[in-house]
Amino acid sequence: MSPAPARFAVAADTGGTFIDVVVRDVDGRHHIGKALTTHQRVFEGLRQALERVAGDLGLTAQELLAGTGRFVYGTTAATNAIVNRTVAKTALLVTEGFPDILVLKEGGKRDVFDYATEYPAPYIPRRRTFEVPERVSAEARVTQPLDEDAVRGILHRLREDEYQAVAVCLLWSVVNPAHELRVAELIEEVLPGVPCTLSHQIAPVVREYRRASAAAIDASLKPLLQGHFRQLEADLRDFGYAGPLLVSSSAGGVLTAAEMIAAPVNAARSGPAMAPVAAVAYSVAEGLGGDTIVCDAGGTTFDVGLSHHGELVRTRETWLGGEWEGDLLGIAAVDIRSIGSGGGSVAWVDPGGLLRIGPHSAGSEPGPACYGRGGTGATVTDAACVLGFLDPGYFLGGRMSLDAAAAARAVDRVGAQLGRGTEETAWGILTLATEHMVKAVYDMTIAQGLDPQDATVVAGGGAAGLTIMPIAAELGSRRVILPKTAAALSAAGMHFADIVKEESAPVLTRSAAFDADRVNQALDQLDARLRTFAARAGLAEGHYGTEYFTEARYEAQVWETEVRLPVSRFAGPADTGRLRAAFDAEHERRFAFRDEAAGLEFVSWKARLTARVDASHPPAAAAVATPAAVAPVKAGAPSRSRTCYFGPAGWLDTAVYPAVGLRPGQDVSGPAIIAEPATTLVVYPGMSTRVSGSGHYILHVAPSEGEPR
């Protein structure tokens, strides 16, 4: 007898403050559950979120999982471990004479003349870096054989000192990996069971720091993340889930848990990488399309991501802990920029008497003061509570009560240092957080050659509805969406994510003497690696597609630009000419100029496999009707009203609309509050929103003359 068809798909995103669960039923409807993150054992909080969704569906959590055919999981565990250095005790093995790769980074400071700022510490301390006698040339020749006795001596020392992981980054291993592979064999011989990462496998790029950083981060995460994923999978099995466990990756797709366990560096930024995926799906579903900007305001951070013409923007420039001063992932990842201005970001006053926000967050333990769990710092959430934007009795759909008095006391303490009143201080906290968010959007969009006024802004995160309207107004955005699932946007994006796997290889060549044979050979090797991956993942031939890219630059440039290849293989001058034209066009789009007289240098080549694992693009519920197809309807009477503080306008009587009472086509004009079970949308005075055919909110922050509202 064949098994019953799955009734549900589940996506879970574990953040620093909340665990978001989005369950999709057979009709394409999304159901949201939220719970505070339980850091010691993530399944405890996950179970609570599942129980809340299951209860709304008239089921138990076990029945819900028993009827689930697909479970996708995302986590901030990797990012938090990297930033907070709560990783395994890891050794770095490098070529003799090159012990300072991680120490020097790529400069280590944004301003080299800033002598007041301490030079950042390396990811792996210098005392845990060990030099291996060996040498391979850039031409792949072994100029100094590997000293295996010396390697064994190092490994015996690591065993005595109880190292938990080993990263290996030998010079020019990307062109001849023989020595790295032999070191891995010796590690298994002397340190059986201790995980190791080889730089030529995790990040096959020419730049030494990037390979070393990727290898170091990956190795240091293995003991932690391998246990994390295995424990979660065991808990899910014990609870009744029998399907595959997929994990969202930093590349904007999903991988099997086994693949993620093998290379946990791919879990860094796994949750935030899904928000742009959701943004593309919702923008297309609402008939807007084009470029999108996702503004994801969670409990800990505010994340900004982009898409160009419906395609995610990826980069190798993902820094954790600050650009140049932090640590570089070294792998291709969705381009996400984060700042510490989430709902849990703490307000403070610097020695000069200026108000500051973040980057420290109250997290979930103890959380903002209004959570009543012992927090005392004034957070953005506390400010919103003081301003009247949040209903203390209806937080998380009434499942959690807020302590408004505690929020006021926390804000008062900040106000006392500033010499300001409670409401004025709270408004200042929210305004400053909004300004930080606007700056983050500008910094990223302008750098990518994108005008925010020409893009669709998609808001996400539990705190998104508090500030998205003033953010959009400042940006001049004309198309703004707050999806029904905004409070769990990253988790929602997992439902639209495909399996994505990238492989890369360094082949240096120039346009003046293009080595088509070597390039084609490298592309063949990348294809072979992806076919091996597809076989491991159970993907049949023809059920996935492959795209090809190069990272290239004008001669004498320092950094590369990624360009999609116009052909899969190069057969002659016509193909290289098409590649040249593609590069010039992309460079002009991003940097507003091209240099057709300059030669090109091609540094590396990539192949990206994409396999659709679900047919839910776009979400079925969002396909009901586009905003233009829905006649405007005046919203019904609000359920109640309360006074809210809107800065210079002071306290205003504000209508409160329960989301359940709104219908497609209804307009709500500010000042107003729309109370969703998992988020709150503040409609500021002079602004409005319309409910789209799929139940999402189309925001109007500055309507033009005659535009319907």
pLDDT at 658 over 60: yes
Cβ pair 516, 576 in contact under 8 A: yes
The answer for residues whose C-beta is within 8 angstroms of residue 167's C-beta and 6 or more apart is: 90, 91, 92, 93, 124, 196, 197, 199, 212, 215, 216, 218, 219, 220
Confidence of residue 5 (pLDDT cuts 50, 70, 90): low
| Rg, Å, the chain Cα set | 26
pLDDT exceeds cutoff 70 at 393? yes
> Is the per-residue pLDDT at 1 higher than 70?
no
Tens-digit pLDDT profile for residues 313-325: 888 888 887 778 8
Per residue in 486-532, pLDDT (tens digit) is 888 999 999 999 999 999 999 999 999 999 999 999 999 999 999 99
Q: Please provide the DSSP assignment of 260-321 as one string.
A: HHH-GGGGTTTTTTHHHHHHHHHHHHTT--SSEEEEEE-SS-EEEEEEETTEE-EES--EES
**Block residue for tokens 């932690």:** 224
Compute the distance between CA of residue 221 and CA of residue 639 in angstroms, rounded to an integer. 50
709, pLDDT greater than 80: no
DSSP string, 203-245: ---S-HHHHHHHHHHHHHHHHHHHHHHHHHHHHHHHHT--S-E
Residue-level pLDDT at 635: 58
pLDDT for residue 2:
38
Pairing of strands 165-169, 456-460: unpaired
Q: What are phi and psi of 126, to 5 degrees?
A: -55, -35
pLDDT tens across 339-364, in order? 777 788 899 999 989 999 888 877 76
Contact 547, 564 (CB under 8 A): yes
Bridge partner list, 131: 94
**What per-residue confidence (pLDDT) applies to 84?**
79
Lowest mean pLDDT segment, chosen from 63-67, 322-326, 390-394, 627-631 = 627-631
Whole-Å CA distances, 628 to 324, 543, 562, 686, 688: 46, 36, 37, 22, 16
* Angle, alpha carbons 67-73-75 (nearest 5°): 150
Q: 10 Å Cβ neighbour count for 84?
A: 9
How big is the chain, counted in residues? 709
pLDDT reported for residue 114? 79
Show Cβ contacts of residue 476 under 8 Å, excluding neighbours closer than 6 positions. 452, 453, 702
Convert the pLDDT of each residue in 219-247 to its tens digit: 999 999 999 999 999 999 999 899 889 99
Give me the pLDDT at residue 335, please. Answer: 86
Between vectors from CA 556 to CA 554 and to CA 561, what angle results, nearest 5°?
Answer: 40
Element (H, E) at 494: helix 489-494
In this predicted structure, the answer to whether residue 13 has a pLDDT above a threshold of 50 is yes
**Which pLDDT value is given to residue 703?**
46
Lowest mean pLDDT among 129-133, 255-259, 512-516: 255-259
Q: Which residue would you say has higher pLDDT here, 290 or 200? A: 200
Is the pLDDT score of 667 beyond 70?
A: yes
User: Given this model, what pLDDT does residue 633 score?
Assistant: 53
Indicate whether 157 pLDDT > 90.
yes
At residue 334, φ and ψ (nearest 5 deg) are: -60, 135
Q: Treating both helix axes as pointing N-terminal to C-terminal, what angle do 208-239 and 77-84 enclose, rounded to 10 degrees?
A: 130
d(CA 478, CA 591) in angstroms, rounded, equals 24
**Mean pLDDT (whole number) for 466-474:** 92
Q: Per-residue pLDDT tens for 261-316?
A: 999 999 988 888 899 999 998 988 888 877 899 998 877 778 888 888 888 888 88
Q: pLDDT at position 3, please?
A: 45
* Residue range 184-197, pLDDT digits in tens: 999 999 999 999 99
HSE (side-chain half, CA atoms, 13 Å) at 168: 27
As a whole number, the mean pLDDT across the chain is: 88
Global pTM? 0.85
- Checking if the pLDDT of 707 tops 60, the result is no
What integer pLDDT is reported at residue 636 of this predicted model? 61
Instruction: Supply the DSSP symbol for 178.
Output: H
